[in-house]
Structure 1
């Protein structure tokens, strides 16, 4: 029988969010509420959830629940069974501010929870958690969180208006700013302020124009530059340093994720 275990992610630099992964859990919880906006996802097994508008629901793997702050709810494994899940908690005031600055609505405190069974949303949530639990920079994690929550349509509102357009000059200026920054220090807030947009608006506009979020664009540009430097015969440690990665191992992970081989394999070592 697989062993039960759980792991919690927190970062003092990101006090508005925390995440938890639990595997093969049989723990049961009384009905409760959180002061945070919470998102839960079922990874394996089945659970019974109460807190949505239509009474108790059976959640299957790949299902998400989005629970507004202070909403009474409970989510427990099927009787006598174990389940695996992920749980994300986001500060409600922080979330309200992020969505309001981009002209979005939000779920009010105490409103019914929403259940989402869309496979692509579950995949996006898993990717967000992968980033949060990884060695990615604080800025990259915060940007991933903002992008996911903005895309989520927390308030079940009408479809969003098209992403704001960026004139060519403004886009060129933004790209130059992104490419000129240290990956670990890229400030989404500063870029958004200079563009006159909310942080989520900036992500949408930049993504519509380039296909990338600002952080993804920067990483892609760094990897492409790394390919050039490696091809010129520069040492791996030197390339990682010149590209602004925290260390050589971080550069190796990012490079392999983009190129499919390690920097050493790419260079033909």
Structure 2
């Protein structure tokens, strides 16, 4: 029988978010509420959720529940069975400010929870949570959280207006700044303030212009630089350090996700 275990991620540098992963859990919870906006995802097994309306909903793997602050709810595995899940908690005041600065509606406390069965949203949530548990920088994690929450179709508002346009000079200046930026020092807030936009507005505008979020653009630029340095024969550890990755293993994971081979394999390819 698989062993039950759970992992909790939190970081003092990002006090507005924490996450939990539980595998093969049989724990059951009484009806409760959180002071946070919470997102739960079912990874394996079946569960029953109450809080989205009258009665219970049966949740299958790949389902998300989106729970506003102070909404009473409960989610438990089917009787006699185990399940695996993820749970993300976001500070309600921080989320309200994030949405208001971009002209978006917030979630009222105690509103009904919602159930999301969209495979794409589940995949994006898993990618976000994997990033939170990784060795990525604080700024990269925060930017990914902002992008996910901004894109999330939870708040039942009219369709978003077109992304604000960045002037050519503003875009080229921002790209130059990103390409010369120390990844650890990149601040989405400062970039947004310089452009006169909210943080999520900036992400949408930059993504519309380049196909990347600012942090994804920076990450892509670092990997391209890494390919150049590896082609020159530099050691993997030295390249990872120069590019600002937390460690060599983090560099290897990101590099393979972008290039399709590990840094060591890439360096050994014939030129």
Q: Into which bin does the TM-score normalised by the smaller protein fall?
A: over 0.9
1:111 aligned onto 2:114 = no
Name the residue aligned to 2:158.
158
Aligned to 1:180: 180
Equivalent residue, structure 1, for 2:84? 84
The residue aligned with 1:169 is 169
Counterpart for residue 64 of structure 1:
64
1:258-269 equivalences in 2 (<5 Å): 258-268=258-268
Q: Which residue of structure 1 aligns with residue 14 of structure 2?
A: 14
What 5-or-longer segments of structure 1 have no aligned partner? none
SS of aligned partner of 1:24: strand
| Residues 240-251 of structure 1: pairs in structure 2 closer than 5 A | 240-251=240-251
* CA-to-aligned-CA distance 1:24-76 (integer Å, 9 cap, x gap): 11111110000000000111111111111243111111111100000011111
Deviates most, 153-162 or 4-13: 153-162
Q: How many residues align?
A: 269
State how far apart, in whole Å, the 2-side matches of 1:9 and 1:79 are: 28
Partner Cα distance (1:130, 1:46) in 2: 22
Per the TM alignment, residue 92 of structure 1 is displaced from its structure 2 partner at its CA by 0.2
Moved more, 239-248 or 104-113: 239-248
Tell me, in whole angstroms, the C-alpha distance in 1 between the residues paired with 2:215 and 2:40. 26
Query: In structure 2, what is the equivalent of residue 147 of structure 1?
Result: 147
Q: CA deviation at 1:128?
A: 0.5
Contact 1:137–1:184 (8 Å) recurs in 2? yes
Q: Secondary structure at the match of 2:212?
A: coil
What is the alpha-carbon distance in structure 2 between the residues aligned to residue 16 and residue 117 of structure 1?
A: 26
Structure 2 distance, partners of 1:116, 1:65, is 6
After TM superposition, the runs of 4+ consecutive aligned structure 1 residues lying more than 6 A away are none
Which position in structure 2 is the counterpart of 1:125?
A: 125
TM-score computed with the length of structure 1 as normaliser: 0.96
1: CA distance, partners of 2:176 / 2:73:
47
Matched, 1:95 2:95: yes
Tell me if the contact between 2:135 and 2:246 (Cα under 8 Å) persists in the aligned partners: no
Look up the match of 1:75.
75
